[in-house]
Amino acid sequence: MRNRFLASLHSRWEHRDWDQAAEHWGRKAKRAERRRGAGDPGSLDAREQHAAAELSLGHQAEAAAEFDAVAQLRAAALGADHKDTLRARVWHAQALHQSGRYAEAEPAWQMIITERGRLLGAQHPDTLAVRLGRVATLRELGRLAEALAEVRDLTDTWESVAGHFRSSLQARRWQATILRDLGEPAQAAEVQLSLLATASAQLGEGHSDTLLYRSEYARTLCGQNRYAEAEAEYRALIPRLRAVTGQLSRETLGARAAHADTLRELGRPHDAEAELTLVTATLRARLGSGDPVTLNARHSHARALLKLGHPADAADELRQVVTGFSAAVGPAHLATLWAKAWLGVALHDTGHPEEAATVLGQAIAELTRLVGADHPNLRQPREHLAALYADGQGREEPRA
């Protein structure tokens, strides 16, 4: 009976019917707890599956609390180092990460790495998988150099473990992402082209993972100012994402917003603004105004408004984006700081030099600390800050 329930859940998950999965496992967990008690293994299994469905629905705080409760009950019944206890701890760390609680997630990952390394060995696939989760958290904490060193070591290790090429692909994906964060798009593109070749051959051109890697490669092309190539990539990619992930998926809507960014840079700001108006409205309705995917699209919309000569409207939107990112991922997160830098640009263009100098100075100082003074995306904010200094606004800009 239990296997049939698992098969039923997995079938629902494959079709992304998370609401039904959450309802199913929530009912099952309550029945098991009433009949056999809160510490019963079947009850805890059902609670864990219910929490996993809630996490997929975006209810991160609820999922994190549930995974933590399951882990504590399993630790009491089975021991802190039992595989089922550690599995719940992994889910808990992932939920903390997805909640934006990175400062809590990082030591949680570290504890699991230590335990799995002790029990299974440092090179065991389960230990390596948790290390990759920690890499993602380190990136969100802005510890980019540490994350890059860790993921490079992981990439080499995974590629020596037979039968785990999917994990190797994920490690290479994170390596490229961090290189792009650090303002090294040429190196990132090199990794991504190799990644795409492997994924296309092993998974197929139409596999959802291959499409994700192609979307990220297009974003890296933007980082190299290769906007015409990026636009062509997105234009070809979006219909395939619609077919595989759905018309209203995060992946499709995120790619549409990124495509609009290329239109803005190619001298089509009206087309970009119109598309981003549609995309942001859809994302607000589906995910809410404060979801990071929505906030990224709203940031892009504000940039389009700036390009169209509407800095006051752009500043209003960017204030909300900075506030939203601060709440979702923290005030020191890269996404928050880049939005803050562009808020400073918009404030300068609206004729608020003192506030612009303060906002730009703070954002550039923090971004310089995290990504280095030579990051190419700092060029325009620096130019605006230099203009403010020339006009006697603000203090001398800190340099790395």
Question: Domain limits of the chain?
Answer: 1-98, 167-245, 317-400
- Give the CA count within 13 Å in the CB-facing half-sphere of 42: 14
Domain 1-98 bears CATH identifier 1.10.3720.10: no
Q: Do domains 1-98 and 167-245 have the same CATH topology?
A: yes
- CATH 1.25.40.10 assigned to 167-245: yes
**What's the burial of 11, exposed, middle or buried (CB within 10 Å: 0-12/13-18/19+)?**
exposed
Q: What local confidence, expressed as pLDDT, does residue 3 receive?
A: 40
278: which 2 tokens? 């549609």
Reported pTM = 0.85
**Is residue 156 a contact partner of residue 347, using CB atoms and an 8 Å limit?**
no
**What does pLDDT average to over the chain?**
89
At residue 389 the predicted structure's pLDDT band, cuts being 50, 70 and 90, is confident
The predicted structure's pLDDT at residue 166 = 84
343-372 per-position pLDDT tens digit: 999 999 999 999 999 999 999 999 999 999
pLDDT in tens, 228-278: 999 999 999 999 999 999 999 999 999 999 999 999 999 999 999 999 999
